Amino acid sequence: MGGKDEPYHHIQVRALLELSGAAQIKGEWMGSTTLPCTYTPSEGFAQKTLTWSMERDFTTSTIFRRDDSGDHVLLSRFRDRVSVPKHNPGDASLQITDLQIPDSGHYTCQIVWRSENYSLITKEVTTTVKVIKVAVTKPTIVAGALGLAVPVGANASLTCVAHGSPPISYRWFRAAPGRTGQLVGSEAELVWSSLQPSDAGTYYCEAQNRVNTGTAQRSDAVELTVRDLPVTMEAGCPDTDLPIAAVTPESTVGYPEKDETTQSSQRTHLYLVILIAVLGGAVVFLVIFAIACARKPKRESIYEIVLNSTADVIRMDTGVEVHDKCRKEKKNSETEESYETVTVTCNNYESMTGNNYESACLSENAESETLVNAMESEYEVQNFQ
């Protein structure tokens, strides 16, 4: 019995380890595709190596290899464009992105398993890939959440959907009676942040790729209607006259969400308040600066005090000439910091001769008190403006 069970077990394991794939796959140019390579994992058999190779123009090149050291992309032109799932046992499918025309060829998936007794089992499956350029299909228009009848002031959108080899370019037109359509957008989606009555009209889109560069595929036209009923909220509940689609959804705490137009208006008012405050501060500063510049400091009167020599006074009053020594003593007394007393003495001049000199000195001593009392008259106050 044991001899009969062993061949049966070996055949069952081989059946479980058979690879599944596809004979032929067509991939769109500039698109992506997946080459299937799967098997059913079997207990006692571990995957040792996985290899993806490509044969084109009778030349075979290894694209991808997975072993105990990790994953390796061995063909440079496939780097960053191919990958194999890592955490899905039994799935060794090859994913290729950004397909190019030279990617057409025969791809072979080869897997080597190792059994518990260290024997090796090798299986492989081959898939033919043909990369083709697909012309863009006729596009269709998909309206936004509010449909084609949208309340004034609400958000609205129209999306142009087409299929074909990427990249696909889109253009939006607004139909006008008796003339060609007006170009209004160059993206797949046409968006209005705050719909106005002037936005109502007939719209259509065109799609084109590199395959049909000469002609663009045109969609059917749709009519966009703007209802003259803004989205309103009263006491936290929507207006009963409005359709449900036109009501702004409520948040989880029961308060309606703010419309983007309201938020924009609030921000505009805040900016205006700040601008007015800054301008007011600037005006106040200019007024203060002008007042400060207009104020001129008062010119202080400059007085010059001229001390007339006592001898000069004597000479002017009496006409008597005073000796130079008397003048010197008088000048020495003028250098003192205090001008409250001025004393002129001539008693030390023992060698002075002549009646005129003696009489002058005696006269000066006799009139010293009078001169002290009349000190104010000895100063001439001159005001220099």
Q: How many CB atoms lie within 10 A of CB 315?
A: 14
CA distances to 145, 193, 368 from 249, rounded to whole Å, are 12, 16, 112
**What pLDDT, on a 0 to 100 scale, did the predictor assign at position 264?**
64
**pLDDT bracket for residue 296 (50, 70, 90):** low
Under 8 Å between Cβ of 206 and 218: yes
**pLDDT bracket for residue 382 (50, 70, 90):** very low
Give residues with Cβ within 8 angstroms of 186, minimum separation 6: 169, 170, 171, 172
Under 8 Å between Cβ of 280 and 180: no
**What pLDDT, on a 0 to 100 scale, did the predictor assign at position 363?**
54
3-state SS assignment for residue 324: helix
- Tell me phi and psi for residue 331, to 5 degrees: -70, -35
**pLDDT bracket for residue 385 (50, 70, 90):** very low
Across 282-303, average pLDDT: 72
Mean of pLDDT over the chain: 75
Across 54-82, average pLDDT: 94
pLDDT digits (tens, 9 = 90+) for 142-193: 999 999 999 999 999 999 999 988 889 999 999 988 888 899 999 999 999 9
pLDDT at 4 over 80: no
**pLDDT bracket for residue 367 (50, 70, 90):** low
Across 226-241, average pLDDT: 54
Instruction: Report d(CA 38, CA 47) in Å as an integer.
Output: 12
Listed residue (185, 49, 191, 73) closest to 122, CA to CA: 49
**What pLDDT, on a 0 to 100 scale, did the predictor assign at position 336?**
46
pLDDT digits (tens, 9 = 90+) for 111-152: 999 998 889 999 999 999 999 988 999 999 999 999 999 999
Percentage of the residues of the chain whose pLDDT score is greater than 70: 63
pLDDT at 110 over 80: yes
Q: How much is the pTM?
A: 0.46
Listed residue (107, 102, 101, 94) closest to 33, CA to CA: 94
**What pLDDT, on a 0 to 100 scale, did the predictor assign at position 372?**
46
pLDDT at 196 over 50: yes
